């Protein structure tokens, strides 16, 4: 199948592109390299040394004999360039990773909020409108987030995208309906994924586009079978306070001798998936497109849920690293329960890799190997959600900074 991967230079996109190529698909990557530029803006870089796109593509060819296309293009700002590419190449599937994905980055300032909304919503809308304009019947596979639901389950397991509700008709009789699950985003970044959902629902209904929205949990790990083939194929490993995600951060912190930074009580429960399962899910979704005219297929792409303080305790037991409870820069519930269904992907053949599968050590080893590249001053999360949270981050008079 011809698969266009938007955002294929990033953490999930690179590993997924290699998986799809290894599975025999013809893969072409589109990326504007904004993530590499944001590294420069933040004065930080991936813990692992990542090769340039050209070196990556050449290394993949040398290892496997397979070609990967690469186009530097801004999907949000160059709608005509995207249209021309779609017209010329006519993909059968488009996997869409090309968004600004860090919640803390999206909350840093008004400018970061505007950039995240404009980039993410425009990227998604440019893709959908171009497919219609160019009359291309490609299956769109989008990487969304579990965060669209918010993290409170009100005692019920989260369904996959749709909720059955009963309303009273004018005659008082109950009427059952399936609606998109209400959204409750916890950051401007998460909000853009809620807006994406509305765009998908409209284009699936109005233009019969075939769309799968993968509501993904927090991805942990850094390697897949394909990225491990050659040092030039190594994947990025974010550990800084904006882009690093919680479990990879704890493992990296343990490897460099930094206390594990639990926000507040650590009672926040979140959904997780290992990168190896993430790329497998993307492949499963690409290879089983929905029919034209079907509503958006929504899959919860996660394999387990964990409380942040339990993860810290687990990493601490494994490594001896101390746990530090730091003020929470985010406006979020200090404690929540979270249970979610993931039947779609299990039915398609996903075999979940769990925390217990021994892969925590693999991440620890990678972090230890590259710890000389870490800038410890970049570890604290300094992006506060509002003024009250910012005030809590200030050291009280007389304490050491
Ligand atoms: P990433 O930042 O590493 O990768 C995103 C890639 O998209 C980058 O290479 C960036 O340069 C590119 N990009 C951004 N805007 C673009 C634009 N306008 N035009 C072209 N390219 C653009 O992020 P990631 O961790 O790989 O996440 C990929 C997707 O998966 C995101 O949409 C994210 O919301 C979703 N997701 C990620 C996680 C996670 O834990 N990493 C969890 C759930 C969902
Ligand atoms: N947290 C800590 N200590 C840290 C870092 C984070 O306690 O050092 C806490 C946060 O306060 C939060 C939780 O851990 O309660 C998760 O934070 P995170 O940064 O790991 O994840 P999040 O901001 O939710 O975003 C990540 C990805 C995003 C994706 C989302 C999936 O960056 O792209 O959409 O996970 S989900 O969480 O299911 O919404």
The pLDDT tens digits for 344-379 are: 999 999 999 999 877 899 999 999 999 999 999 999
Indicate if the pLDDT at residue 226 is higher than 50.
yes
pLDDT at 399: 52
- pLDDT given at position 401: 46
Tens-digit pLDDT profile for residues 122-174: 999 999 999 999 999 999 999 999 999 999 777 889 999 999 999 999 999 99
Got the DSSP string for 162-218?
EEEEEEE-TTS-EEEEEEEPPP--SSHHHHHHHHHHHHHHHHHHHH---EEEEEE-E
**pLDDT tens sequence across 178-216:** 999 999 999 999 999 999 999 999 999 999 999 999 999
User: CB burial class (10 A; 0-12, 13-18, 19+) of residue 122?
Assistant: middle
Active site residue 239: no
Task: Return the pLDDT at 155.
Answer: 82
In a domain, 134, yes or no: yes
CA of 202 to the centre of ligand 2 (A): 29
Q: How many domains does the chain have?
A: 1
pTM comes to 0.97
Dist. CA 244 → ligand 2 center (Å): 8
Contacting residues for 245 by C-beta, under 8 A, at least 6 apart: 218, 219, 220, 238
Specify if 269 maps to a domain. Answer: yes
Rounded mean pLDDT, 217-230 = 98
- Quote the pLDDT of residue 237: 98
Q: Is residue 401 part of a domain?
A: no
Average pLDDT over residues 113-128: 99
CATH number at residue 320: 3.40.50.720
Q: Over the stretch 33-70, which tens digit does the pLDDT of each residue have? A: 999 999 999 999 999 999 999 999 999 999 999 999 99
pLDDT score of 395: 75
* pLDDT for the residue numbered 377: 97
pLDDT at 397: 61
pLDDT at res. 328: 98
pLDDT at 116 over 60: yes
Look at the block and give the residue holding tokens 């400018």. Answer: 111
- Is the model's pLDDT at 400 over the cut of 60? no
- Residue 189's CB: how many other CB atoms inside 10 A? 24
In a domain, 85, yes or no: yes
- pLDDT tens for 277-311 read 999 999 999 999 999 999 999 999 999 999 999 99
Residue 386, domain extent = 2-390
Question: Is 288 part of a structural domain of the chain?
Answer: yes
**397 within domain boundaries:** no
In a domain, residue 334? The reply is yes
Integer Cα distance of 229 and 86 in angstroms: 31
In a domain, 231, yes or no: yes
Q: Identify the residue whose C-alpha is closest to ligand 1 atom 25.
A: 11
Asked if 163 and 182 touch (Cβ cutoff 8 Å), the reply is yes
Q: What is the longest distance spanned by two Cα atoms in the chain?
A: 70
Q: Which residues line ligand 2 (CB under 6 A)?
A: 101-103, 145-147, 217-218, 245-246, 249, 261-263, 266, 268, 270-271, 308, 328, 330, 332, 381
């Amino acid at each position: 199948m011809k698969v266009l991967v938007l955002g294929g230079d990033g953490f999930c996109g690179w590993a997924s592109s290699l998986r799809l190529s290894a599975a025999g698909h013809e893969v072409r990557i589109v990326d504007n390299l904004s993530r590499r530029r944001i590294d420069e803006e933040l004065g930080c870089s991936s813990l692992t040394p990542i090769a340039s796109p050209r070196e990556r593509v050449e290394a993949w060819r040398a290892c496997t004999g397979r070609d990967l296309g690469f186009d530097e293009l801004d999907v949000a700002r160059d709608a005509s360039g995207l249209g021309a590419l779609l017209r010329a190449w006519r993909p059968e599937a488009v996997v869409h990773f090309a968004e600004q994905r860090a919640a803390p980055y999206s909350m840093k300032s008004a400018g970061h909020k505007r950039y995240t909304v404009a980039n993410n919503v425009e990227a998604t809308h440019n893709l959908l409108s171009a497919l219609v304009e160019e009359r291309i019947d490609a299956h769109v596979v989008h990487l969304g987030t579990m965060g669209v639901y918010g993290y409170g389950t009100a005692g019920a397991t989260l369904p996959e995208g749709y909720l059955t509700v009963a309303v009273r008709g004018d005659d008082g009789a109950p009427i059952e309906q399936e609606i998109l699950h209400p959204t409750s985003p916890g950051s401007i970044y998460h909000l853009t994924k809620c807006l994406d959902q509305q765009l998908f629902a409209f284009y699936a209904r109005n233009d019969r586009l075939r769309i799968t929205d993968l509501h993904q949990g927090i991805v942990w790990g850094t390697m897949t079978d394909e990225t491990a083939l050659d040092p030039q194929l190594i994947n990025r490993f974010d550990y800084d306070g904006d882009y690093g995600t919680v479990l990879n951060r704890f493992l990296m912190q343990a490897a460099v001798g930094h206390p594990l930074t639990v926000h507040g009580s650590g009672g926040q429960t979140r959904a997780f998936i290992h990168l190896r399962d993430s790329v497998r899910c993307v492949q499963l979704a690409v290879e089983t497109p929905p029919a034209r005219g079907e509503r958006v297929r929504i899959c919860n792409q996660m394999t387990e849920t964990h409380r942040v303080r339990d993860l810290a305790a687990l990493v601490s037991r494994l490594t001896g690293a101390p746990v530090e409870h730091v003020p929470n820069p985010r406006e979020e519930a200090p404690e929540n329960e979270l249970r979610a269904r993931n039947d779609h992907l299990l039915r398609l053949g996903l075999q979940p890799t769990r925390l217990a599968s021994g892969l925590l050590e693999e991440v620890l080893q990678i972090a230890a190997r590259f710890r000389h590249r870490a800038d410890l001053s970049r570890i604290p999360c300094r992006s506060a959600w509002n003024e009250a949270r910012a005030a809590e981050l200030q050291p009280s008079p007389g304490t050491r900074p």
